Structure 1
Amino acid sequence: MVHPSTRKISALLTLLTLLMVGCESRQPFVGVILIDTDLPTLYRGELPIGVTLDPGSGGKDLLSNNLLLNGGWELASHLEGCGYDRATGEVVTPNGSRLPYPLPEQHFGWELIGQNIGISGDKSQHYLLAHVSSTDSLVGIRQNLRGVEISPGESYRLTLTAQSTRPATIIATLVDAEMKQLSTPLTLTPTSEGGRLVGQLKVTQADAAPSLFLEIKATEGEPYLVQRDSISYWTSQSSATVTIDDLLLQKVGYKEQYGLDENLYALLSELHPSFVRFPAGATANGLYPGNYPLYLDSIQLLAPLWTLNQNEYTHHFGYPQLLQLAHALHSTPIIVTNFGFSDPSTIQRIEDIKLLPQRIDYIEQLLAKAPQHQVAIQPGYGLGGAEYDRRLTQLLDKLDTIYPNLQLISAADRSPYNEYSDYPFDLVLPLISYNNLAHIDSLITQRDQLLYPQMMSEATFDTDYTKGYFLPPLALRAAFMILAERRTPYLQALGLTPLIATDLEEQFPIIEAKSGTFHPTLFYQYLCDFTQLRGENLCRWDSNNSLQSDVITSLTADKEKKTYYLKAVNVTRHPLHYQIKLKGKNSNFTSVEILSYTSTEPTTSLTPAGFAHYEKSVTQERLRLSSHFHYLFAPYEVVIFKFS
């Protein structure tokens, strides 16, 4: 027989259990996201997303196959109208663009060690000249390898041109800041006839900031008798004059496709960019009359497209490679050309209206070289004003009749001067942060997209995380891309920068360059997911979901409106429980696939920068024909839902 008190305790426990289950099933949610499949489509078409190949990314020319900066000592001349930052070894162009440009008085980026060694040559050609003796102390050159980390077992291939009047050797090694060897030494022997010398350096010790060091030695010969006045003696001392030029350092295994490292090409292929643009706009603007190549040779195979004082900067990547690369990627090639004047913010304006016909002829040459003229031309970047529009009109008047399918992108808003424009203009945005998302949204929507079509080629994000409301880099980019997807009707294309950088923490690029190779970042993965998981129907979003909401969303559907894609980002550092309501005749979804990017930082962290590190997970849940779906957003979570 059960004691009455035992029955009471059992009943009480049962009641408490039911209450707990009831509380769990009725856990309060702080917001609702509505997916109404009966609402009409807002717009048909996906937002085209492309990339800009910026030769200045990461502090060196990452489109070059050379890990050495200025391996030929050709960036030599002082540029009229430019400033120089000697602390960073950069030239400051008239429009304020900063580009790596080793200064002549700093040996063009190389450290010279010892005496009787220097740079010789004329304005168009430079080389290293060293007078060495077998009795000399250390004589050589050294250069820090920017953005290169080395690991034991790796090998690097060194190629150079050298000549010596007498027997001499060049000993190459990778060294650290204290000149300690990090690789096996490579001995090269130049001849009196000169020629190319090739060898490999095998890494023996890891280092995050290695340098290439070349020591130049005169080789001791056979003993010979020296007679001076009444003194005679035997010696084996010798001397030599050695010249070195065209140094090329590559990681062993480097292969090239369309002017790019094959790994970089493979990563670009996975991105499926709608356009490939070259170079960055500020780069092109910095080249004003007298500094931009107008001759046809500059667009021939292996010739540089972008030069300073006719000196090569972009190395082997040029206009032919851009056309070939874009064709291989099924992308539109966009070439940014200087249009005869510098940025309007320039204090020292250097312009010559007499050169305008030559500029137009040059652009015509670019168009004529493209297969079926499928190339878009953007004359300048971030420019504006009546003078720019007048010049652009002259360009169109000449080329419109010759190239009826001309794809031209204006660098300026033409609305103050024209009732409408058949050509899109490149909308230049301020640095993007969470604090100005609403302002950026207003800039995108302020014009009639039918009268003045627009694109954004270089969306750049603020990297100063100490001011305003903090949002981790990935969450900030996701919020902006969601905003851009919501405004697809207003945008003909979107480009994100930087594409490539060596500083992952500071610049948060799409692709990281490290140790002479290229690696996808988490932003790269999200960008791939973003473009692959979307439909061609832009759906109306809940009017309650604004850019000030805790969770910002966009919604698209496939052609048949049977699969829906919900993109969302939690812009708070708090976990948020949301209800996702499914409504309409096509809302009988049976499953949802969830691609989630969550911060690895504990939510109690007091260091905002720690939230920059994310991890990706993929899960799938059955919906059982439910009219709603509950989801707990983690702090700063970025997520894509696929309902089907």
Structure 2
Amino acid sequence: MNLLQIGAAALALLAALPAVAQKVAANKPISPDLFGIFIEDINYTADGGLYAELVQNRSFEYSPSDRGGWHPLTSWDYLHEGYAMGSLSVESAAPLHANNPHYVQLRVENPFQKGLGIKNSGFDGIALKAGEKYDFSLWARSKGGAAMPLLVQLRDAKGAVLAETTLSAKVGEWQQYRATLAPNASAPDASLVVLATGKGVVDLDMISLFPQKTFRNHPNGLRADLTQALADLKPRFVRFPGGCLAHGDGLDNLYDWKKTIGPVEQRVAQRNIWGYHQTAGLGYFEYFQLCEDLGARALPVVAAGVSCQNSGGSWRIGGTGQQCVPLADMAAYTQDILDLIEYANGPATSTWGAKRAAAGHPAPFNLHYIGIGNEDKQTPEFRERFQLIYDAVRTKYPNIEVIGTVGPAPKGEDFEQGWAFANQLNVPLVDEHYYENPEWFLANNRRYDSYDRSKSKVYLGEYASRGNTLFNALAEAAYMTSLERNGDVVRLASYAPLLAKENHTQWNPDLIYFNNSTVVPTANYYVQALFGQNTGTEYCANVVTLPTTVAADTVAASCVRDARSGDIIVKLVNVGGSAQSFTVDLSRFKGVNSAATLITFAGPKTAKNTFATPQAVQPKTTAYKASRNFTYTAAPYSLTVIRMRAKRG
């Protein structure tokens, strides 16, 4: 090769460099775990909601510390049928287990055939379906010289018996008794009745009723329809058991994972920071099992050795209630967290892996993430304890990715100090939270474009636009296109809160509302579902051209490619009141099939799904014919997803 040829080759190489650089910049990897869900026991998410137990206060452990006026017989009625004579009392002298100290004692002086007992109406009634089967159980012991006959019934609101069975409580130690009940009619507000029909004394505890059809038919499982709504989101991770719930209302209320595993009668119930009671029936084993069922990574969050700074209602005076685990106790506290990782990932021969195996899961749960802290005040005490835990986890389990915390807002002192601390320690991810109006989300679509890619990555753990209208949902959709665009720095994102029971909400808005028989997905839910169901492995820039005749913050778009399927997925968001045209250029992709799937989610700006109008807005799916270059006109107030098949690779 002569000098002239060498020079020409060099010029050709230089000319090609910009094109190569542009190609690299135009396609960048997206976190495989970008969109997930966050479960916190707020708004009766667990007991009375996701956890399928139908009996409220099944172990007689409610107390005034849960809520003013509550007591061990809250949600129970004392029954003396006909002319039955006797008495009822709550005892604690010889409990079923020390962690479950209260039980009911029935003293039957004369049953007069019908008997004496108790009735439970569940959480706003017990919803029963004809033809379904329900698993009943209780622990009992007869204190007299003979066994005590028990009559168990399901009754409708008028007292008609829908199903019944008989049991016999033996003399001696506590024993568990089981039966299957099949109601002959449906009832939205049934009750469970247990009657002692013989003369004598009998103790009762852990009175339970479960539908056999739980999600994936697990015993001690989850409500099938509500959990299916979570499954339909296609979450890639599940954060649990909460935010504020995890670090609790004072040190005595920290969420202790070890007290939530093992036989349910041995778990430790406690007051809920949101003003009710948590049985821990939905405990760490059930959370890990749910993650596995959903095909999602588990993301447990533990307290960073401090309680919520809002403990004791101190949010009213500036959040000065942060309490700290004494430094002398931090080694033991940190070991509890290391034990949690062993419980999830250790072999069945390890101390804590054996407890997982004993619960029915010999194989590891393959934990990858763990969150330390939640929205904590960035005090020296917090930072000292966080680092003790962080260093211990990093040393023993270097493959676990730790997620830190930077406060409850998108800016401010805790935010700035939290980020500086995380970058100082090289924490893999930090957990940002913010609840803002929809206009904020539209105006901040470029928030993560300028984040430093060399520093800690982001988990957007809690966000919502303060409303459940279609407009709110579309503002979130526009923002989620920016999360895809920045999927290299925003590794995880989850809307919050997830669930809320009708008439029992402590926080609004929420993603899914429900009562005992109905699940109402919000407009926000459908946006989350459309993004979760249409994820990609890489973001493709310069595919969609936004309309220029409208304000920039009212339109947004993204294009992702899924290398696993070869699909190209375009998302178009129009948050304005007039139709807008987007230009799509697919010329860079090979083998694009013109036969596409079109999903549109549109309606009036203020449209909202409620119990009265549960289907006011829903996505619609149709066929669509695409081309290498096309223009799509998006309806006012709409999210459009166009999914096209292309060659893999």
- TM-score, length basis structure 2: 0.71
Deviates further, 136-145 or 518-527 = 518-527
**2:103 alignment counterpart:** 127
Letter in 2 for 1:241: V
Measured after TM superposition, the shift of residue 127 of structure 1 is 0.9
Measured after TM superposition, the shift of residue 538 of structure 1 is 1.6
**2:637 alignment counterpart:** 636
Q: Is the 8 A contact 1:152 1:203 kept in 2?
A: yes
Measured after TM superposition, the shift of residue 248 of structure 1 is 1.3
Measured after TM superposition, the shift of residue 279 of structure 1 is 0.7
Q: Is the 8 A contact 2:556 2:572 kept in 1?
A: yes
Out of 338, 342, 350, the residue aligned to residue 364 of structure 1 is: 338
Out of 113, 123, 131, the residue aligned to residue 153 of structure 1 is: 131
Say whether residues 1:280 and 2:242 are aligned partners.
yes
**1:578 alignment counterpart:** 581
**1:196 alignment counterpart:** 176
**1:252 alignment counterpart:** 212
Say whether residues 1:52 and 2:38 are aligned partners.
yes
Measured after TM superposition, the shift of residue 357 of structure 1 is 2.6
Letter in 1 for 2:132: E
Please list every run of 5 or more consecutive structure 2 residues that lacks an aligned counterpart in the other structure.
1-21, 81-85, 315-320, 347-365, 407-414
Task: Return the alpha-carbon distance in structure 2 between the equivalents of residues 305 and 581 of structure 1.
Answer: 56
**1:613 alignment counterpart:** 616
Deviates further, 340-349 or 444-453 = 444-453
Please list every run of 5 or more consecutive structure 1 residues that lacks an aligned counterpart in the other structure.
1-36, 87-102, 220-238
Task: Return the alpha-carbon distance in structure 2 between the equivalents of residues 191 and 59 of structure 1.
Answer: 37
Task: Return the alpha-carbon distance in structure 2 between the equivalents of residues 306 and 458 of structure 1.
Answer: 28
Call closer, same or farther: CA 1:121–1:485 in 2, change over 3 Å.
same
Task: Return the alpha-carbon distance in structure 1 between the equivalents of residues 521 and 546 of structure 2.
Answer: 36
- TM-score, length basis structure 1: 0.71
Measured after TM superposition, the shift of residue 400 of structure 1 is 3.2
**1:496 alignment counterpart:** 495
Letter in 2 for 1:392: F
Tell me the number of residue pairs that the alignment of Structure 1 and Structure 2 aligns: 556
Task: Return the alpha-carbon distance in structure 2 between the equivalents of residues 560 and 276 of structure 1.
Answer: 22
Out of 63, 70, 73, the residue aligned to residue 107 of structure 1 is: 73
Letter in 2 for 1:642: R
Task: Return the alpha-carbon distance in structure 1 between the equivalents of residues 255 and 638 of structure 2.
Answer: 48
Task: Return the alpha-carbon distance in structure 2 between the equivalents of residues 206 and 632 of structure 1.
Answer: 45
Letter in 2 for 1:333: A
Call closer, same or farther: CA 1:617–1:63 in 2, change over 3 Å.
closer
Out of 194, 202, 209, the residue aligned to residue 242 of structure 1 is: 202
Measured after TM superposition, the shift of residue 250 of structure 1 is 1.1
**1:484 alignment counterpart:** 483
Superposed counterparts of 1:340-351, under 5 Å: 340-346=305-311, 347=314, 348-351=321-324
Tell me the SS of whatever aligns to 1:365.
Answer: helix
Measured after TM superposition, the shift of residue 159 of structure 1 is 1.4
Call closer, same or farther: CA 1:203–1:582 in 2, change over 3 Å.
same
Task: Return the alpha-carbon distance in structure 1 between the equivalents of residues 218 and 131 of structure 2.
Answer: 25
Task: Return the alpha-carbon distance in structure 2 between the equivalents of residues 611 and 130 of structure 1.
Answer: 45
Call closer, same or farther: CA 1:259–1:569 in 2, change over 3 Å.
farther
The higher radius of gyration belongs to 1
Call closer, same or farther: CA 1:138–1:241 in 2, change over 3 Å.
closer
Tell me the SS of whatever aligns to 2:73.
Answer: helix
Q: Is the 8 A contact 2:428 2:456 kept in 1?
A: yes
Letter in 2 for 1:335: P
Letter in 1 for 2:570: L
Call closer, same or farther: CA 1:242–1:275 in 2, change over 3 Å.
same
Letter in 2 for 1:363: I
Call closer, same or farther: CA 1:183–1:521 in 2, change over 3 Å.
farther
Call closer, same or farther: CA 1:45–1:368 in 2, change over 3 Å.
same
Letter in 2 for 1:423: V
Task: Return the alpha-carbon distance in structure 2 between the equivalents of residues 418 and 615 of structure 1.
Answer: 41
Call closer, same or farther: CA 1:297–1:313 in 2, change over 3 Å.
closer
Tell me the SS of whatever aligns to 2:61.
Answer: coil
Letter in 2 for 1:49: F
Task: Return the alpha-carbon distance in structure 2 between the equivalents of residues 190 and 379 of structure 1.
Answer: 47
Task: Return the alpha-carbon distance in structure 2 between the equivalents of residues 553 and 514 of structure 1.
Answer: 36
Deviates further, 133-142 or 150-159 = 133-142
Tell me the SS of whatever aligns to 1:69.
Answer: coil
Task: Return the alpha-carbon distance in structure 2 between the equivalents of residues 392 and 462 of structure 1.
Answer: 31
Deviates further, 339-348 or 380-389 = 339-348
Q: Is the 8 A contact 2:119 2:194 kept in 1?
A: yes
Q: Is the 8 A contact 1:424 1:455 kept in 2?
A: no
CA offsets, 1:199-258, max 9 Å, x none? 3443344443x1424253544xxxxxxxxxxxxxxxxxxx43232111110113446449
Out of 63, 67, 82, the residue aligned to residue 84 of structure 1 is: 67
Task: Return the alpha-carbon distance in structure 2 between the equivalents of residues 293 and 549 of structure 1.
Answer: 41
Q: Is the 8 A contact 1:292 1:309 kept in 2?
A: no
Superposed counterparts of 1:325-474, under 5 Å: 326=291, 331-346=296-311, 347=314, 348-354=321-327, 355-371=329-345, 374-387=367-380, 388-412=382-406, 413=415, 414-417=418-421, 420-438=424-442, 441=445, 444=448, 447-460=451-464, 462-463=466-467, 470-471=469-470, 474=473
Task: Return the alpha-carbon distance in structure 2 between the equivalents of residues 51 and 497 of structure 1.
Answer: 8
Measured after TM superposition, the shift of residue 420 of structure 1 is 3.9
Measured after TM superposition, the shift of residue 431 of structure 1 is 2.6
**2:141 alignment counterpart:** 163
**1:235 alignment counterpart:** none
Call closer, same or farther: CA 1:258–1:288 in 2, change over 3 Å.
farther
Letter in 1 for 2:26: T
- The alignment-based identity, stated in percent, is 17
Q: Is the 8 A contact 2:115 2:195 kept in 1?
A: no
Q: Is the 8 A contact 1:342 1:350 kept in 2?
A: yes
Call closer, same or farther: CA 1:305–1:459 in 2, change over 3 Å.
farther
